[in-house]
Amino acid sequence: MNKQEILTQLRSAKSAHIQWRSYAQALIAGIPVEQDHVPVIHTNCKFGKWYYGPGQRLASLSTYAAIDTPHEMLHQIYMKIFQLMFGEDDRSAFAKLFGSKSKLKQKQHEEAETLMRDLLGVSGTLIDAIGLLEDEIKGMSDDEITNLV
């Protein structure tokens, strides 16, 4: 695989991440999200499939490892958002009898919005890390690319 092919794959994976992030934003906005776009573990999304699949070829690069933690964090935050928005009502029986469901929903939505801000911040970190990896690849010679394991 040559440098251009690697960069194309990396850019495609980055685009997949940006699309995935838009699904999380849609969820908060109350826009229906298709079943195949609901939270998945970080190794099963399109970006994760690239990162833990063909992207492993880049694992020896210094900038590659910086991607793993923010990517996994994104999925953890997204799962919390999804659970807040669609999870079962886990209030106690007493709270269900005397509490306000609309107040609970409002509180959950506010928590989800806070988590979305966190997700966007972590997403920015991930996109920056991907950019650094892209820059490192661009700066490599064809021989260095060929010698990647």
Instruction: Give the domain CATH number at 98.
Output: 1.20.120
Taking the C-alpha atoms of residue 70 and residue 7, their distance in angstroms, rounded to an integer, is 20
Residue 82 in any domain: the answer is: yes
pLDDT tens track for 26-60? 888 888 877 667 667 888 888 999 999 999 999 99
- Is the pLDDT higher at 40 or at 79? 79
Judge contact between 113 and 25, C-beta under 8 A: no
What's this model's pTM, rounded to 2 decimal places? 0.82
Provide the domain limits for residue 31. Answer: 3-143
Residue 148 in any domain: the answer is: no
Express as a percent the part of the chain with pLDDT over 70.
86
Concatenating the DSSP letter of every residue in 85-142 gives: HHS-----HHHHHHS-HHHHHHHHHHHHHHHHHHHHHHHHHHHHHHHHHHHHHHTS-H
- 122-144 mean pLDDT: 95
Check whether 149 has a pLDDT greater than 70: no
Count up the domains in the chain and report the number.
1
